[in-house]
C-alpha cells in the first residue's frame, strides 16, 4: 500500500564560499569557490526524501513551503518538481524575496551559516490551514525550526488529530514548549539541540540515555540523538519500557558537512515510509548522509536512491 510523507519547512538560496577557517571578529579572509546552491532545511530534507524514495512503490512526498516573487525561487520550485516532489503547496509570496543563507565552509569541512528568512517568514498557521489536505493524507509529517513556530504547532496539532505521525528535527537549536514537544512521535536533535531542550549536556552514551528519558517524559515515543562521527543514539519507549542503543555511522573523508543532517532526516523518513525497522532506517540514513559529506553544497550533495543502495551493498 502506498504511503505519503509531507515535509513543512524552509527554502533558501545558499551563498557558499570556501575559507581557510571561520572569520574572527575584525578579520578579513580571502575565500574561494563562491557559488549559489539551493538549500534551506525544509527543502534539503524534502529533496533528500524525494531522491531517496522508490516511487515505484507508489509512495509520495509533499512539500509545504514559501518562495519569494523572484526568479531564483521559481527556479528552485521547478527543480523540486523535477526531483519528484509534489510542489502544489509551495506558495509564492508577493513582495518578498526567497530566503537566503550565507555559508562559510572551512578547510576542516565544518560550516558556519547566517540566515535571512525572507519568504520563509510567511509560512504561517494560515498557510498550513490552506494545505490541510497534505497533512491529513500523510503517514508522516516532518518539520524543522527555520519557519514560524505558530505554523509548526498548528501543523503538529492537525497531524496528531488525523493519526499522522509527527517528526521534528529541532534545528536550528532553540527552546520549545512542552505543548509542541508533547505532540511529537519522533524527535531527531543533535547534541547541542538536545542540551537546549533537556538541560543535559550529551558527552557519551550515559548522558544520551538521561537526555532521552527527559524527551520520553515529555511524551515523545522515539528519540534519535545524532552524535556526529559516533553515530546516533536511538531510544524508544513502548508499553512503559525504554530500549536504547548507539547505531554507528560510516567512516568517509568529509569535504563539506552542509546538509548532512538534513540528508539523514530525509533518508530516515523515506525508509520509515517503506516500513523498514528503526535500525535499518537509521543505517540507510547514515549511508545517505555519509555520501553527502563527500561532496560540496547542500542539495547538490544529496545522493540518489541508487547511489545509497550501492554504498550500502559495499559495506
Instruction: Give me the mean pLDDT over the 279-284 stretch.
Output: 96
- Mean residue pLDDT of the chain comes to 94
One of 86, 139, 262, 280 is an active-site residue; which one? Answer: 262
DSSP class per residue in 20-43: SSPPPTT-----EEEEEEEE-HHH
Tell me how far apart the alpha carbons of residues 99 and 77 are, in angstroms, rounded to a whole number.
13
Which grid cell is 293? 559529506
pLDDT at 1 > cutoff 90:
no
Q: Which residues are part of a known binding site for K(+)?
A: 256, 258, 292, 295, 297, 301
Asked if the 4-23+33-314 domain carries CATH number 3.40.640.10, the reply is: no
The tens digit of pLDDT for each residue in 175-211 reads 999 999 999 999 999 999 999 999 999 999 999 999 9
**Element holding 242 (H helix, E strand):** strand 241-247
Q: Which residues are part of a known binding site for substrate?
A: 12-14, 40-44, 146, 262
Phi, psi dihedrals of residue 55, rounded to the nearest 5° = -70, -15
The tens digit of pLDDT for each residue in 40-70 reads 999 999 999 999 999 999 999 999 999 999 9
Q: Which residues are part of a known binding site for ATP?
A: 190, 226-231, 261-262, 286
- Among 58, 12, 106, 17, CA closest to 275: 58
pLDDT at 298 > cutoff 80:
no
Q: Is position 133 annotated as part of the catalytic site?
A: no
Q: Which residues are part of a known binding site?
A: 12-14, 40-44, 146, 190, 226-231, 256, 258, 261-262, 286, 292, 295, 297, 301
The ranges assigned to domains in the chain are 4-23+33-314
Tell me how far apart the alpha carbons of residues 263 and 171 are, in angstroms, rounded to a whole number.
13
Amino acid at each position: 500500500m502506498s504511503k505519503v510523507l509531507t515535509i513543512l519547512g524552509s527554502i533558501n538560496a545558499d551563498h557558499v564560499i570556501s575559507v581557510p577557517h571561520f572569520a574572527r571578529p575584525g578579520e578579513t579572509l580571502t575565500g574561494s569557490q563562491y557559488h549559489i546552491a539551493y538549500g534551506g532545511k525544509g527543502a534539503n530534507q524534502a529533496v533528500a526524501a524525494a531522491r531517496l524514495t522508490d516511487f515505484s512503490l507508489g509512495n509520495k512526498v509533499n512539500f509545504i513551503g514559501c518562495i519569494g516573487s523572484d526568479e531564483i525561487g521559481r527556479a528552485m520550485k521547478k527543480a523540486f518538481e523535477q526531483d519528484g516532489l509534489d510542489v502544489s503547496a509551495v506558495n509564492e509570496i508577493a513582495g518578498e524575496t526567497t530566503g537566503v543563507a550565507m555559508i562559510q565552509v572551512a578547510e576542516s569541512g565544518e560550516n558556519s551559516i547566517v540566515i535571512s528568512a525572507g519568504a520563509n517568514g510567511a509560512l504561517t498557521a494560515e498557510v498550513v490551514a490552506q494545505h490541510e489536505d497534505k497533512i491529513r493524507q500523510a503517514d508522516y509529517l516532518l518539520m524543522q525550526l527555520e519557519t514560524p513556530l505558530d505554523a509548526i504547532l498548528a501543523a503538529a496539532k492537525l497531524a496528531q488529530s488525523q493519526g499522522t505521525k509527527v517528526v521534528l528535527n529541532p534545528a536550528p537549536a532553540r527552546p520549545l514548549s512542552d505543548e509542541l514537544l508533547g505532540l511529537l512521535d519522533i524527535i531527531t536533535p543533535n547534541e547541542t539541540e538536545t542540551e537546549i531542550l533537556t538541560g543535559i549536556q550529551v558527552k557519551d552514551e550515559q548522558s544520551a540515555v538521561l537526555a532521552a528519558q527527559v524527551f520520553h517524559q515529555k511524551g515523545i515515543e522515539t528519540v534519535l540523538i545524532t552524535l556526529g562521527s559516533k553515530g546516533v543514539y536511538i531510544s524508544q519507549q513502548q508499553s512503559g519500557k525504554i530500549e536504547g542503543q548507539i547505531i554507528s555511522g560510516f567512516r568517509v573523508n568529509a569535504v563539506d558537512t552542509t546538509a548532512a543532517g538534513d540528508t539523514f532526516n530525509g533518508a530516515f523518513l523515506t525508509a520509515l515510509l517503506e516500513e523498514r525497522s528503526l535500525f535499518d532506517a537509521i543505517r540507510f540514513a547514515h549511508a545517505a548522509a555519509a555520501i553527502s559529506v563527500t561532496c560540496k553544497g547542500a542539495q547538490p550533495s544529496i545522493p540518489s536512491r541508487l547511489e545509497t543502495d550501492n554504498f550500502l551493498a559495499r559495506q
